[in-house]
Amino acid sequence: MCGIVGILGHKAVAGDLVDALRRLEYRGYDSAGVATVENGHLERRRAEGKLKNLEARLHNEPLQGRAGIGHTRWATHGRPTENNAHPHMNERVSVVHNGIIENFGELKKALIAKGHRFETDTDTEVVVHLIADEMQKGCDAIEATRRTLASLRGAFALAIIFAGEDDLMIAARQGSPLAIGHGKGEMYLGSDAIALAPFTDEITYLEEGDWAVLRRKGAIIFDRSGKQVERVRTKSVATSLLVDKGNHRHFMAKEIHEQPEVISHTLANYLDLAEARVSMPDLGIDPAGIRQVSISACGTAYYAGLVGKYWLERYARIPVEIDIASEFRYREPPLPANGLALFISQSGETADTLATLRYCKSQKQRVASVVNVRTSTIARESDAVLPTLAGPEIGVASTKAFTCQLSVLACLTLALGRARGTISSAQEEELVHALAEVPRHIATLLRNEPSYEKLAHDLAKAKDVLYLGRGSSYPLALEGALKLKEISYIHAEGYAAGELKHGPIALIDENVPVIVVAPEDDLFEKTLSNMQEVAARGGRIILVSDASPDRAGCELEAHVAMPKVHPFTSPLLYAVPVQLLAYHTAVFMGTDVDQPRNLAKSVTVE
């Protein structure tokens, strides 16, 4: 989603602004721009598309200002054109913005009635006019901004600079994250610490409702009520090296291949392998007394949660309520006393997931989160944090974060099962051993990667693809379909295998590949029956299974052979073939694998 950077420096900052924006590229964007204060007036350069277009613009028309802001835009209001790209400005003020100003319609109407003329289709432009309007009435830059912020509704982060103010930048956070970086006589601002890593590791995160006045000598922070507040300064661990692709063609490929290692790290954080026991941090709630676990997340993280539901219900015998965060937040379900609310998020910043977290807190639930970014808002607002140790995930399509989320949920299941007496010590030992084997099995699977290329060439010809699965393989079918559609743009849907005959079977013909995710577990024969139904209608079946192809009892277009593993751990393993199929299909089709069209890595708007 949009990325914000700002610098009060000692020399021309445009180059550093672009470098910082490059570190936010992974979030997804479709245009970019920078503005600086130049001899007292504001100047900007903007470009549609990738940062190289903005760099070319800056090369031809350089900016010299020492105070500046920059932005990568992921379009919400208005098409991704240069005219709608940030910064937005007039002769007094220049603004970059992440998020949505929900009441922009009414504000714009009132401003137009006062004679303001709008140049863009964005919601952001109202901020420029509101501040200018207050300054016109005689307010200075800080007071004009304070008044403007009070009139805005929505979730947003803003960075603002002013004509005639070479040593002033104002930052505001209401729903979208913002980090202040402290340099030596220089100050920085970024959507996250990764953007600022080459300049400083001294970071202050603004809290909800905070706004800050930055000058080269430091920052003064105010809370929502306008009271001056102190916020802690932390040492960021974000590396100054731009995370690179190593020998891989795409970040997604690198991240798929990192899975054996990062799953090992994650499991090692929760398992005592010497004792074959799980060792979870205290969640602050008596596991035996938990009446319900409510899971909420979006996209791939939601599918991880869905696997968690199967596990928690089966092994820990706890009722689990799960919903997509954007639905959960407005459904406002009643939640029982002694409930554990669990949030899953790679970024820890997903707006809908954060909103459900706050709802569950208001309902007196114990709040735990499975997050990859420990400094994120979701982590900071949780009672307990169960980190995934996946490392930075740059590819928009989530891969290693998903399998690390599954790893944490598997360990949580064992911990709760043991505490509730639903699994014995012997079972715990067996399941811990099974989990410990996962990285090795995934490493073996990855050695077989070339075989996916041929399959992918065939998939690339399809217009529609169906994925089927049962039990804990059903979320894998959903995840497989999501992976394929988001990076190859082929229409794909995941279904519970048993649901096929209630509608989707009408889609089956000889042009539709059907990918069946079916480990040879206690549901395998049921899935086989559904596969026969597909075969009888001419569907082209690709079976992903540890069962011999002979067991299929029908013609298969392909068989992806999986190792025999404990059924408990199969979701972790079966994630890999669906990732590889999607990846190679997208590579064959020549799409932008790491930054697919229209998608953002960190979804900070609802």
CB-based contacts of 184, cutoff 8 Å, min separation 6? none
Residue whose C-alpha is closest to residue 30's, from 79, 88, 98, 95: 79
Residue whose C-alpha is closest to residue 17's, from 49, 40, 45: 45
Site for ligand M6R in 348-367 (CB under 6 A): 350, 353
Among 124, 148, 236, 347, binds ligand M6R (CB under 6 A): 347
Q: Write the DSSP assignment of 552-604 as a string of letters.
A: G-S--SEEEE-----GGGHHHHHHHHHHHHHHHHHHHHT--SSS-TT--SS--
Binding segment toward ligand M6R, per CB under 6 A, in 238-246, 329-337, 345-353, 543-551: 345-353
* Nearest distance in Å: CB 323, ligand M6R: 14
Q: Does 124 bind ligand M6R (CB under 6 A)?
A: no
Binding segment toward ligand M6R, per CB under 6 A, in 38-46, 334-342, 347-355, 574-582: 347-355
Structure tokens at 171: 């930052």
Q: Does 390 bind ligand M6R (CB under 6 A)?
A: no
The CA-atom distances, in angstroms, between 369 and each of 378, 381, 541 are 7, 9, 38
Q: Does 259 bind ligand M6R (CB under 6 A)?
A: no
Residue nearest to ligand M6R (CB): 299
Tell me, residue by residue from 438 to 477, as one string, x for binding to ligand M6R by CB under 6 A and - for no binding: ----------------------------------------
Binding segment toward ligand M6R, per CB under 6 A, in 43-51, 109-117, 127-135, 597-605: 597-605
Q: Does 299 bind ligand M6R (CB under 6 A)?
A: yes
Interatomic CA distance for residues 79 and 81, integer angstroms: 6
* Nearest distance in Å: CB 327, ligand M6R: 14
Q: Does 603 bind ligand M6R (CB under 6 A)?
A: yes
Interatomic CA distance for residues 574 and 81, integer angstroms: 41
C-alpha dihedral, 560 to 563 to 564 to 569, nearest 10°: -100
Binding segment toward ligand M6R, per CB under 6 A, in 227-235, 395-403, 517-525, 552-560: 395-403
CA angle 501, 576, 560 (to 5 degrees): 65
Q: Does 396 bind ligand M6R (CB under 6 A)?
A: yes
Structure tokens at 481: 């379909």
Nearer to ligand M6R, 18 or 370 (CB): 370
CA-based torsion, 65, 66, 71, 72: positive or negative: positive
Tell me, residue by residue from 474 to 513, as one string, x for binding to ligand M6R by CB under 6 A and - for no binding: --------x---x---------------------------
Catalytic residue of the set 108, 254, 309, 601: 601
Q: Is 566 exposed, middle or buried (0-12, 13-18, 19+ CB in 10 A)?
A: middle
CB-based contacts of 595, cutoff 8 Å, min separation 6? 25, 26, 28, 396
Backbone angles phi, psi at 165, to 5 degrees: -125, 90
Q: Does 301 bind ligand M6R (CB under 6 A)?
A: yes
For residue 234, what are the β-bridge partners? 203
* Nearest distance in Å: CB 52, ligand M6R: 24
Nearer to ligand M6R, 264 or 579 (CB): 579
Among 298, 459, 462, 562, binds ligand M6R (CB under 6 A): 298
Nearer to ligand M6R, 36 or 407 (CB): 407
Contact 417, 316 (CB under 8 A): yes
* Nearest distance in Å: CB 596, ligand M6R: 8
Counted residue by residue, the chain has a size of 606
* Nearest distance in Å: CB 527, ligand M6R: 25
Binding segment toward ligand M6R, per CB under 6 A, in 250-258, 339-347, 537-545, 553-561: 339-347
Interatomic CA distance for residues 273 and 385, integer angstroms: 21
366: left (phi over 0), alpha (psi -120 to 50) or beta: beta
Binding segment toward ligand M6R, per CB under 6 A, in 140-148, 340-348, 358-366, 489-497: 340-348
Interatomic CA distance for residues 309 and 125, integer angstroms: 44
Q: Does 398 bind ligand M6R (CB under 6 A)?
A: yes
State yes or no: is 2 an active-site residue.
yes
Q: Which residues bind ligand M6R (CB under 6 A)?
A: 298-301, 345-347, 350, 353, 396-398, 482, 486, 599, 602-603
Give catalytic residues, as residue numbers: 2, 601
